[in-house]
Chain A
Amino acid sequence: MDDKFQQKPFSAEELIAKLSQASPLQASKVLIESELFEKKSSINVLDEIYKHFDSKSGLIDELVAPVGMNVLDGIISHKKLGLNRTGLTASRVWNEIKGFDYSIAEVNAKTLSNKQQLEGMRTPRDYNKSVRATMTDGRNLEKRKDKKSDSNGRVESGIEVKDDGERVILYRHQQQARDAGESKLSADTDHVIPVKQINDQYAKNVYLTDRDIAAVTDGDFNLIEISNELNRMKGAGSFRDLFDRKKTLQAKRDSGGKMSQKEKNDLKKLEGVSDKTLENGIAAEKESAGKVLGSAQDSALGNLKNNKKAIALKAGGQALEQGGYQLLGTAIIEMIKPLFHELSDSIENGFEKGVNVARFNDAVKIRFGRVSAYLKDVVIPTLHGSVKDFFQNLFKVLIEGILGLVTGMFKSVMRIISEGFSAIISSIKIICSKSDSMSSSEKADAITKLLASTVSTFVVMYFSEVITKIVPDPFNEIFVIIASGVASTLLVYLIDKIDFFSVKYEKRSKLVAEVFQERIAQIKRNTDAFSAASVQALVEQKLTFNKLCGDLEDGITSDLDVTSNVNLIADFMKVELKIRDTESFLEVLRREKVLTI
């Protein structure tokens, strides 16, 4: 149930707290002020439910969403487009479509072609020596070391610092270091972001070639000179790992925890590296990670826009088509967005009203005008290269299409049979469903809609043979998917609007009953909680008072001092007494000429 129709729950604890804070003399007022149900008139609530029901937002979710998801799923799982391999899912794209707005469309287009494509890769490529060999070349590291050395064969460490804060100077060659008796200070050129991490993150991206990945791995921004000792200590881990381990071991030692021999050795080694050095290392890791990502994105976008043969080099001819089709798929999804937006908007706000015009023709002009403007201005410029690439591969695709024609026809027939069969099965299921979950009118309505949408799909399928001839593969299938989706949506919407079986009012009554039954149950729960809390508090107050008054009475009859009894009664009543002990009372008598109550 929508939150706006709910009765606010009443808190018994709150009432008990209020009663205990207030004077027992004010209990009645506290009880009267307690709200056990909202003040809103039930007629207004009923009106609001009617309005909510008519708002049609539910219709979009009930009607357009399943069809939309089916269409998207058809496109995304299309074997040639292979969009599912890019990490796209129908629900993800559907969410984007639902949030589509012409004013923010450009951002969305970029998001899809950039971030989603880059981050969409899920399973990393297997990593081994031969893979590593394609990513990094020892010669690059040596060249870099030479470049960084001075004429005396000395290299400044990228991150290591001495106690005085100056950078550690390393030896270019191992022999030099040994000769100087500082064998630990020979320079190593190392990857800041480890090669395996880059493989896991980027290798499967269809828009990055092996060369792109190698360029990123051995890029200047990802290399650093450090002492061979620190390099050995770091191994396949990161500076962040080293820093964390050092702190953990130190904390363990300081807290008197028992340390193994290995831990003691490790700590000794780690304490030989200053915190500042490790902090520099962490900063370098952060900077390089940003640059690696930036460089990967640039390469991917470069491939995406220019679509040089770079993608083809990645994994042969099949991948070329794959990459091309994926780009094409992206373009198709970008085209669907404004189309679905128009469809949903027409249903929700009216075809003409949604664009604030009175005539149907004007609405058509505006709606289709803005779709084509969007495609021209936003989608086509971004994906121009890919579309061009697709047409370059068109011959290949056409041959495939002709070969698949015979099997294609067979497939269509099978599809019609299976669609029809599943529609009949669904109808039987609806008829057999329990009458308390669906009334007979609702069943009739559901079956009509189901059959109508199936028929509309058949009609579109019938024309698909014609479409196949006019539209090239794989557009034809996509076109059929979209057309059947849109046709069945419109048909079902029309049936819903005509409401042959007056199901609308039945459904609305169901909502009304659901809302009011919950509201009534809440009022009852509130009243019970109120009654229980009130009785409890009032009985407790009465018992406390009886005890206090009984003690006072006993005191009076036994001729005792009752000032403290009176104080307790005043405290119970939450009445403030200015003079609480007899000493002070005598003091006041002496000081004041007149005592005022």
Chain B
Amino acid sequence: MLGLWNAVKAGVSMVKDTVSSVGGAVVEGVKVVSDKVKSGGSKVYSSISGKKYFDEAERLYEKIESRFKYARRRYEIKISERSNEIRDHLQRVNKFKERIYTELFRKFLDVANRLHRVEVEGKYFKEFLAEDIFDCKEFEVVQSRAALFEIDFNDMSFGQAAYSILTLGFYSRKKAKQSLQQVKDEEQRVNEEIAKMESRITKAEQVVLSLSNVVIYFESIVANYVTLLQRFEFGVNSQRIIRAGQSSFDKLGFRMMPIRHIEDFHALFNLSVVMKEMSSMGYISESGELIEHDLAAIDTFSRHTATIQAA
């Protein structure tokens, strides 16, 4: 009996399970259908209301914003790197200029004045890197959402909703499509801004290259000037020693000098003219300060000590 009862129970249980599993399947089926209906309905709603255009516009807007942000960041880093290089080059150039006035010209006058009175007039230009040299702030950022979106499905006013329903979605669809097209237009505009940034980076690279040339010019000319000055000084000193033994020797004049020393004098004089020109100009802009450094004859040095020290 018990066995039968158990069998019945087991049978009932089986039926229950079956029913339950069938019921589950039915429920599942209904759910799938309702999901499908929902998603289908949502698709239809999106198409009619124009929400699909709005969603696309939102996605595109976010993409543009992040692309612009990335490009802007890259631009700032690159420009900052190039600016540092330019700053370094300018510092080296400024040092050369200072050395020319405080050391080399002084040395040249010191030797040259033994033969003839020579003076250096003028000032040198200590250059700084202007902040706006690459117009970093010139670029137009991505326009605000408010400027581009004609409708916001996430925050639609009652009036807009009512109008959309009354026009069978015609109104909202049109506004959404307009928004999408305006965002697409913005993408094109932002592309131009990015192209401008790339162009500016290229320009900055070329400026660095040109400045590195200037550094080389200074380096080489100064080195040759120093060597030539040594040769000239040695020549003048030799003549002093030779002339010192002569009874009539009073002061060494250029007339007593052999022509090869006069040639050195001449070459140094002209090279000084070139170096003075190089020291008086700005290479990037006109921002900087003029350093007073009139070097009169060697015996007037004391009067200018203060200026030299200030430089």
- Using a CB–CB distance below 8 Å, which chain A residues touch chain B? 24-29, 31-32, 34, 36-37, 41-43, 45-46, 499, 502, 505-506, 508-509, 512-513, 515-517, 519-520, 523-524, 526-527, 530-531, 534-535, 538, 541-542, 545-546, 549, 552-553, 556-557, 559, 561-563, 565-567, 569-570, 573, 575, 577, 579-580, 582, 585-586, 589, 593-597
Are B207 and A31 touching (Cβ within 8 A)?
yes
Residues in B neighbouring A524, C-beta threshold 8 A: 195, 198-199
Bound Cα distance A196, B286 (Å): 79
Query: Which positions 180-214 of chain B face chain A at CB distance < 8 Å?
Result: 180-182, 184-186, 188-189, 191-193, 195-196, 198-199, 202-203, 205-207, 209-211, 213-214
> CA A597 – CA B173 in complex, angstroms?
79
CA distance A397 to B280 in the complex (A): 96
Our pick among A32, A37, A42 for the contact of B133 (Cβ within 8 Å) is: A32
Pair B116/A595 contact, Cβ less than 8 Å: yes
- Which of B41-49, B117-125, B151-159 lies at the binding interface? B117-125
Contacts of B297 in A (CB 8 A): 594
Q: How far is the CA of A524 from the CA of B196 in the complex (A)?
A: 9
Contact (Cβ within 8 A) A594 B217: no
Q: Chain A nearest CB: distance from B183 CB in Å?
A: 10
- On whether the beta carbons of A520 and B192 are closer than 8 Å, the reply is yes
Closest partner residue, chain B, to A557 (CB atom): B227
Q: Contact at A597–B211, with CB atoms within 8 Å?
A: no
CB of A25 within 8 A of CB of B198, answer no
Distance in Å from the Cβ of A533 to the closest Cβ of chain B?
9
A594–B216 touching, CB < 8 Å: no
Tell me which residues across on chain A come within 8 A of B178, comparing CB atoms. Answer: 502, 505
Those 7 A-B pairs whose CB atoms lie nearest each other, nearest first = A505-B181, A516-B188, A502-B177, A585-B266, A27-B210, A549-B220, A534-B206
Q: CB < 8 Å: which of A27, A41, A519, A569 contacts B213?
A: A27
| Contact present for B181 and A566 (CB under 8 Å) | no
A28, B211: Cβ atoms under 8 Å? yes
Q: A597 near B188 (CB under 8 angstroms)?
A: no
Type the 1/0 row for B276-303, where 1 means its CB is closer than 8 Å to any CB of A.
1110011111000000000001000000
A527 contact set on B, CB distance < 8 A: 198-199, 202-203
Q: Does B262 contact A (CB under 8 A)?
A: yes
Residue pair A573, B274 in contact (C-beta under 8 Å): yes
C-alpha gap A580/B263 in the complex (Å): 11
- Known A-B contacts A545-B220, A563-B267, A594-B117; the reply to A570 vs B188 at CB < 8 A is no
Q: Given A31-B207, A43-B143, A556-B224, do A509 and B195 touch, yes or no (CB 8 Å)? A: no
CA distance A569 to B185 in the complex (A): 54
User: Which residue from chain A places its CB closest to the CB of B200 in the assembled complex?
Assistant: A36
Contacting residues of chain B (211-242) with chain A, CB-CB under 8 angstroms: 211, 213-214, 216-217, 220-221, 223-224, 227-228, 231
Q: A589 CB to closest chain B CB, in angstroms?
A: 5
CB A291 to nearest CB in B, in angstroms, measures 64
**What is the distance, in angstroms, from A2's C-beta to the closest C-beta of chain B?**
16
Judge whether B311 is part of the interface by a CB distance below 8 angstroms.
no
Given contacts A516-B192, A527-B202, contact A582 B214 (CB under 8 A): no
Q: Across the interface, do A36 and B199 meet the contact criterion of CB distance under 8 Å?
A: yes
B271 touches A25 (CB 8 A): no
> Counting CB contacts under 8 A, is B260 at the interface?
yes
**Across the interface, which residues of A come within 8 angstroms of B198, CB to CB?**
524, 527
Tell which of A37, A508, A534, A586 touches B262, judged by Cβ atoms closer than 8 Å: A586
Query: Known interface pairs A513-B188, A585-B262. Does A523 touch B199 (Cβ–Cβ under 8 Å)?
Result: yes
List of B residues within 8 angstroms of A556 by Cβ:
224, 227-228, 231
CB <8 Å contact, A37 and B265: no
- In angstroms, Cα B181 to Cα A283, docked, is 69
Q: Digit string of B105-121 for contact with A (CB within 8 Å is 1, else 0)? A: 10000001000111111
Q: In the complex, which residues of chain B have a beta carbon less than 8 angstroms from the beta carbon of A24?
A: 213, 217
B1 at the interface (CB under 8 A from A): no
**How far apart sit A506 and B183, CA to CA, in the bound complex (Å)?**
12
B285 to chain A, nearest CB (A): 8
**Is B140 an interface position by the 8 A CB rule?**
yes
Contacts of A557 in B (CB 8 A): 227
Q: Find chain A residues with CB under 8 A from B186 CB.
A: 46
CB proximity to A under 8 Å, residues B252-280: 254, 259-260, 262-267, 269-274, 276-278
A549 touches B266 (CB 8 A): no
A42-B192 contact, Cβ under 8 Å, with A527-B198, A577-B273, A585-B269: yes
Whether A597 lies near B121 (C-beta < 8 A) is yes
Partner of A593, one of B117, B180, B199, B271: B117
| Bound form: Cα–Cα A538–B262 in Å | 35
Verify if B174 is at the interface (C-beta below 8 Å from A): yes
User: What is the bound-complex CA distance between A569 and B195, given in angstroms?
Assistant: 40
For window 53-99 of B, CB contacts with A under 8 Å fall at: none
Query: Which one of A42, A524, A534, A535 has the highest number of Cβ atoms from chain B below 10 Å of its Cβ?
Result: A42
Is A597 a contact of B272 with CB atoms below 8 Å? yes
Nearest chain A residue, comparing its CB with the CB of B283: A28
Asked if A538 and B274 sit within 8 Å, CB to CB, the answer is no
Complex: A582 Cα to B264 Cα, angstroms: 9
> Residue A570 contacts which of B180, B274, B285 (CB distance < 8 angstroms)?
B274
Q: Once the chains bind, are B263 and A582 in contact (CB under 8 Å)?
A: yes
Give every chain B residue within 8 A of A505 (Cβ-Cβ): 177-178, 180-182
Q: Is the CB of A589 within 8 A of B217?
A: no
Q: Write out the residue numbers on chain A whose beta carbons fall within 8 Å of the beta carbon of B205.
A: 531
The CA-CA distance from A597 to B297 in the complex, in Å, is 11
Q: Is the CB of A570 within 8 A of B199?
A: no
**CB distance B277 to A502 under 8 Å?**
no
Asked whether A25 and B199 contact (CB < 8 A) given A542-B216, A566-B267, the answer is no
Of A37, A577, A589, the contact of B196 (CB 8 Å cutoff): A37
How many Å lie between the Cα of A573 and that of B275 in the bound state? Answer: 10
Contact partner of B210 (CB less than 8 A), chosen from A512, A534, A553, A582, is A534
CB distance from A355 to the nearest CB of B (A): 31
Residues of B within 8 A of A506 (CB): 177, 181
